[in-house]
Amino acid sequence: MASKRVRFTFEGERVGQPLIYRLGHEFALVTNIRMADVEAGFGWVVLEVEGEADEIERGIAWMEAQGVRVDPVGGDVVEG
Amino acid sequence: MSYATSLVCRECGNDSPLEPINACDYCFGPMEVSYDYDAMRGVVTRESISAGPRSIWRYEALLPVDPEHRIDLQVGFTPLLRADNLARELGMRELWIKNDTMNPTWSFKDRVVAVASSRARQFGFETLACASTGNLANSVAAHAARGGMRAVVFIPHDLEAGKVLGSAIYDPTIVAVNGSYDDVNRLCSELADARHWAFVNINVRPYYAEGSRTLGYEVAEQLGWRNPDQCVVPMASGALFTKIYKGLSEFADLGLIDDSPVRMYGAQAEGCSPIATAHAAGTMNIRPVKPRTIAKSLAIGNPADGYYALKVMQESGGGAVAVPDPEIVAAMKLLAECEGVFAETAGGVTLAALRKGLAEGRIDPEAATVIFITGGGLKTTDAVEGDVSRPIQIEGSLRSFEDAFAAAGG
């Protein structure tokens, strides 16, 4: 089993869609939310995703395909 | 000696020992180094600091590194210049330039990397790593060389050769990653978990960020042990902005300076201004952006400390200013022409933001103001190449010189 800590950013209509629920049901993944902030038309969720490494990659690719931005928890690390 | 005691989560307050971790185990919030300030009171004094070396290590009690592990390139204690010419030009009463172009690898990154690399050595790491397009990589490679450590530097595949040279001279392993900046971000975050390496701004980030506080300490000390009224600071991740404020606040808490208010203004390029945009919209939620600006050293679209920078603006009564690229170039020239300081694009952002803030009445021209110039101009010559004066061409005769010089307005 592997795990990955990620930050999902949702914009527009995606804020109201149960995408994290679907991630946990359509893929063999366990999602564990640790922090979140959601307002009208925008929100972010920090969570841990647990499962087989390949399945995590597939699940994250699916989230991105839904229009969700996926980042490492600590923000950008490429600095000037 | 260092008075660092533990890491504390900035979100939930959970604390843990001083280890190479970045995120809280409970809420995944960022960890920050905590110190025993009570033990410092009366021991850390103006006199004890003044007796220290002319580098960041004069503040050793306030840094999370034991002295025997230091990697010392004599970073910091850079000049604080009174900028009367520029003040006159801008209609200001008292303006100062904190000239951090004078560091060993010509940028403020030496401060953060000096602390991160030293702490990494204290942890027993043998490899320093980072992902960078310039200043950070230069500093990591230099500190690794000085400290006898191995350096691994990740760069985007399309980085210009000139930018790579400033790191390559120190002989690190340079890895060019095919893909977007986001791909490099992800890869390095995963490698930080998979390898026993000290990624300076990932797994040792809590220590790395602490180095920026020394800019606040130095400014207070160099002003004659007092706070400025206003600071204008460039923002990328937002960490530098928050840590300068923290440094000034710590000095006041320790009784080293009076607790007078300091308004903190953050500067960003319009082409990458997620923090300034959130501030203008009155929200604490940062929306990540794709950077499009000549100010590459500030091009962080998803800033880790953006939320905390917004909190500092609220607390200090300051704000944020975003400026377009042409104003950045004009400000680089103005700084050089008025004060003899050649800054990289980030310095242009800072001065342009000051100028705009003054013009909009948001920054007080009567207040004692410090602008932070964080990197040297030779790193970004392409930004000003077409905008600087050209040589007067003459023949090797006095007549030719007199004619051409007169024609040029001499």
B408 within domain boundaries: no
Cα A5–chain centre separation: 9
Q: Are residues B231 and B308 in the same domain?
A: yes
Nearest CB to A76; choose among B27, B287, B300: B300
Q: Are residues B318 and B359 in the same domain?
A: yes
Examine the pLDDT at B185 and tell me if it is beyond 90.
no
Tell if the CB–CB gap between B26 and A34 is shorter than 8 Å: yes
Tell if the CB–CB gap between B285 and A73 is shorter than 8 Å: no
Does the CB of B283 have a partner CB in chain A at under 8 Å?
Answer: yes
For residue B273, CA distances in Å to A68, B198, B300, B302, B321 come to: 21, 29, 9, 10, 9
Total number of domains in chain A: 1
Find residues 45-104 of chain B whose CB sits inside 8 Å of chain A. none
- Other beta carbons less than 10 A from residue B187's beta carbon: 18
The interface predicted TM-score (ipTM) is 0.93
Examine the pLDDT at B90 and tell me if it is beyond 90.
yes
Q: Residue A66: its pLDDT value, please?
A: 98
Using one digit for the tens of pLDDT, what is the confidence trace for B113-170?
A: 999 999 999 999 999 999 999 999 999 999 999 999 999 999 988 888 878 999 999 9
A55 within domain boundaries: yes
Examine the pLDDT at B182 and tell me if it is beyond 90.
no
**Dihedral Cα B350, B352, B353, B357, nearest 10 deg:** 140
Query: Tokens representing B77?
Result: 């204690």
- Expressed as residue numbers, the domain containing B5 is 1-35
Q: Residue B410: its pLDDT value, please?
A: 79
DSSP labels for B55-74? SGGGGGGGSSS-GGG---S-
Tell if the CB–CB gap between A78 and B181 is shorter than 8 Å: yes
A79 within domain boundaries: no
Phi then psi dihedrals of residue A2, to 5 deg: -125, 165
Pairing of strands B4-9, B15-16: antiparallel
Q: Which of B318, B347, B325 has the alpha carbon at shortest distance from B334?
A: B347
Nearest CB to B285; choose among A42, A73, A77: A42
* Average pLDDT in chain B: 96
State the number of CA atoms in the 13 A half-sphere of A40 facing the CB: 0
User: Nearest CA of chain A to the CA of B188: how many Å?
Assistant: 8
Pairing of strands B319-323, B263-269: parallel
Helix (H, G, I), strand (E, B) or coil at B86: helix
Total number of domains in chain B: 3
Whole-structure pTM value:
0.96
> Residue B181 sits in a domain of what CATH number?
3.40.50.1100
Q: What is the distance between the alpha carbons of residues A66 and A9, in angstroms, rounded to a whole number? A: 11
B344 within domain boundaries: yes
Tell if the CB–CB gap between B304 and A79 is shorter than 8 Å: no
- Other beta carbons less than 10 A from residue B391's beta carbon: 5
Q: Are residues B30 and B132 in the same domain?
A: no
Find residues 18-47 of chain A whose CB sits inside 8 Å of chain B. 34-35, 37, 39, 42-44, 46
Helix (H, G, I), strand (E, B) or coil at A64: helix
B240 within domain boundaries: yes
Q: For B216-233, b where at least 16 C-beta lie within 10 A, e where not — what string? A: bbbbbbbbeebbbbbbbb
Does the CB of B156 have a partner CB in chain A at under 8 Å?
Answer: yes
Q: Are residues B146 and B218 in the same domain?
A: no
Nearest CB to B23; choose among A44, A71, A73: A73
- Other beta carbons less than 10 A from residue B194's beta carbon: 7
Using one digit for the tens of pLDDT, what is the confidence trace for B8-36?
A: 999 999 999 999 999 999 999 999 999 99
Tell if the CB–CB gap between B199 and A77 is shorter than 8 Å: yes
- Give, for B213, the enclosing helix (H) or strand (E): helix B213-222
Give the amino acid at B402. E
Q: Are residues B274 and B250 in the same domain?
A: yes
Contact predicate B318/B362, CB 8 Å? no
Q: Residue B130: its pLDDT value, please?
A: 97
Q: Which residues contact B192 (CB under 8 A, 6 or more apart)?
A: B129, B199, B202, B203
Contact predicate B334/B89, CB 8 Å? yes
Q: Which residues of B touch A75 (CB under 8 A)?
A: 237, 300, 302-306
Q: What is the distance between the alpha carbons of residues B183 and A27, in angstroms, rounded to a whole number? A: 23
Tell if the CB–CB gap between A71 and B285 is shorter than 8 Å: no
Q: Residue B180: its pLDDT value, please?
A: 83
Does the CB of B202 have a partner CB in chain A at under 8 Å?
Answer: yes
Nearest CB to B185; choose among A34, A44, A77: A77
Q: Residue B183: its pLDDT value, please?
A: 87
- Give, for A70, the enclosing helix (H) or strand (E): strand A69-72
Q: Are residues B335 and B236 in the same domain?
A: yes
Using one digit for the tens of pLDDT, what is the confidence trace for B311-333?
A: 999 999 999 999 999 999 999 99
Q: Residue A71: its pLDDT value, please?
A: 92
Q: Which residues of B touch A73 (CB under 8 A)?
A: 23, 28, 189
Q: Residue B160: its pLDDT value, please?
A: 80
> Residue A62 sits in a domain of what CATH number?
3.30.70.260
Q: What is the distance between the alpha carbons of residues B340 and B102, in angstroms, rounded to a whole number? A: 13
Examine the pLDDT at B49 and tell me if it is beyond 90.
yes
Examine the pLDDT at B283 and tell me if it is beyond 90.
yes
Using one digit for the tens of pLDDT, what is the confidence trace for A12-71?
A: 999 999 999 999 999 999 999 999 999 989 999 999 999 999 999 999 999 999 999 999
Q: Are residues B97 and B136 in the same domain?
A: no
Nearest CB to A77; choose among B131, B285, B296: B131
Q: Are residues B134 and B99 in the same domain?
A: no
Q: What is the distance between the alpha carbons of residues B172 and B153, in angstroms, rounded to a whole number? A: 7
Q: Are residues B102 and B174 in the same domain?
A: no
Question: What one-character DSSP code corresponds to residue B75?
Answer: -
For residue B381, CA distances in Å to B160, B272, B294 come to: 13, 20, 11
Tell if the CB–CB gap between B133 and A69 is shorter than 8 Å: no
Q: What is the distance between the alpha carbons of residues A45 and B315, in angstroms, rounded to a whole number? A: 26
B99 within domain boundaries: yes
Q: What is the distance between the alpha carbons of residues B392 and B389, in angstroms, rounded to a whole number? A: 9
- Longest CA pairwise span in chain B (Å): 79
Examine the pLDDT at B234 and tell me if it is beyond 90.
yes
Q: Which residues of A touch B28 (CB under 8 A)?
A: 5, 34-35, 46, 48, 73
A77 within domain boundaries: no
B249 within domain boundaries: yes
* Mutant choice from B22, B24, B28, B160 vs A, greatest count of A C-beta within 10 A: B28
Q: Are residues B368 and B240 in the same domain?
A: yes
Does the CB of A75 have a partner CB in chain B at under 8 Å?
Answer: yes
Q: For B116-125, b where at least 16 C-beta lie within 10 A, e where not — what string? A: bbbbbbbbeb
For residue B68, CA distances in Å to B71, B207, B267 come to: 9, 16, 37
Q: Which of B272, B306, B309 has the alpha carbon at shortest distance from B286?
A: B306
Q: Residue B278: its pLDDT value, please?
A: 97
Q: Are residues B229 and B203 in the same domain?
A: no
Helix (H, G, I), strand (E, B) or coil at B397: coil
Tell if the CB–CB gap between B297 and A80 is shorter than 8 Å: yes
Strand order in the sheet with B319-323: B80-82, B95-99, B369-373, B230-234, B263-269, B319-323
Does the CB of A57 have a partner CB in chain B at under 8 Å?
Answer: no
- Expressed as residue numbers, the domain containing A22 is 2-72
A80 within domain boundaries: no
Q: What percent of chain B has pLDDT over 70?
A: 100
Does the CB of B111 have a partner CB in chain A at under 8 Å?
Answer: no
Q: What is the distance between the alpha carbons of residues B332 and B325, in angstroms, rounded to a whole number? A: 11
Q: Are residues B187 and B226 in the same domain?
A: no
B68 within domain boundaries: no
Burial of A36 (0-12, 13-18, 19+ CB in 10 A): middle
Nearest CB to A80; choose among B154, B284, B298: B298
Nearest CB to A79; choose among B30, B283, B300: B300
Pairing of strands B95-99, B80-82: antiparallel
A21 within domain boundaries: yes
